[in-house]
Amino acid sequence: MTETELQHSEQIRKVFFVSDRTGLTAESYGKCLLAQFPDLEFETITLAFVDTPEKALQAREKINETSLESNLKPVVFSTLVHDDEQYIIESANACVISLFHSYIGSLESFFGVESSHKQGVSRIAFSDTTYQRRLDAIDFALSHDDGVRPDHYNDADVILAGVSRCGKTPTSLYLAMNFSLKVANYPLTPEDLSSDELPQCLLDNIDKLVGLTIKPVPLSRIRRQRRPGSEYASLEICQAELTQAQAMFDKAGIAVFETTDTSIEEISSRVVRALGLGRERVRESVLMFNKSIKAR
């Protein structure tokens, strides 16, 4: 690592998401808060299934090791329910924010009753059909990532297109996990960009197609992390690819969303609305919620 790279790495603050389950809730809330500090850089680490004091001690040790290795004290977002585990995490050498305890006390006072303090109660009891649909959507997104199996695009609910490293894969997975949508994504290669029109496999499914773009400088920075010093990561190549991709999107007349300063959650919501899927998915979510309430 060069001196410049070392200095840059020292300016990146480590952020831990600690949870007694998958960590998705801690990640979602934590990243929303971090997004309010666009001039700072963060590296995130998820410590999931921290559901015993022993695992909490291991998590604290990892956090403390990171604190010793860096000039910047790490930040910890925790959704741990049980006090024993939470107290251990709070003793770490870090800024610890409990996303659970910050609100539960106020709600207990307001309702006049104590909470159950049960782990995992945020999970909704989905029907077998709904659960299977979500699994199928995730499997579809994984098996149709990065331009794989374009002959199956007629089975997709959404197709995302864009140049390499503009945010297609994370958006695909978020749409699959949170909206149960079958999403394929297609990277526009230099060969594709030598044409004036989008590839035929995309044009054949234009009613499902959305373009993603990004600003040239951040794209160059992202690509340098993957291939330092390459032509692929040069600012000139990034600019040229983005310009040509936008021209192709404009000619096809599809919706295009920029990912530079936009969260995956917001991009996904825009995609759903652009394709007219929003009302259906909201109605489905309400029905699922009502069914889970009646089952309790």
Other Cβ atoms closer than 10 A to 287:
12
Kindly state the helix (H) or strand (E) to which residue 142 belongs, with its residue range: helix 128-143
Cβ atoms of 168 and 222 within 8 Å: the answer is no
Cβ atoms of 46 and 77 within 8 Å: the answer is no
Residue burial 55-78, b: 16+ Cβ < 10 Å; e: rest: bbeebbebbeebbeebeeebbbbb
Q: Is 169 annotated as a binding residue?
A: yes
Cβ atoms of 9 and 1 within 8 Å: the answer is yes
| Residue partners of 115: CB distance under 8 A and separation at least 6 | 104, 107, 108
Q: Is 95 annotated as a binding residue?
A: no
Give the torsion through C-alpha atoms of 83, 88, 92, 97, to 10 deg: -10
d(CA 59, CA 88): 9
d(CA 282, CA 20): 28
d(CA 139, CA 238): 31
CB-based contacts of 221-227 (< 8 A; 24+ apart in sequence): 222/165, 223/164, 223/165, 226/165
Give the torsion through C-alpha atoms of 7, 12, 13, 17, to 10 deg: -140
Q: Is 13 annotated as a binding residue?
A: no
d(CA 195, CA 60): 53
The letter for the amino acid at 12 is I
Q: Is 167 annotated as a binding residue?
A: yes
Q: Is 168 annotated as a binding residue?
A: yes
Q: Is 163 annotated as a binding residue?
A: yes
Residues at the binding site are 162-169
As annotated, the binding site for ADP includes: 162-169
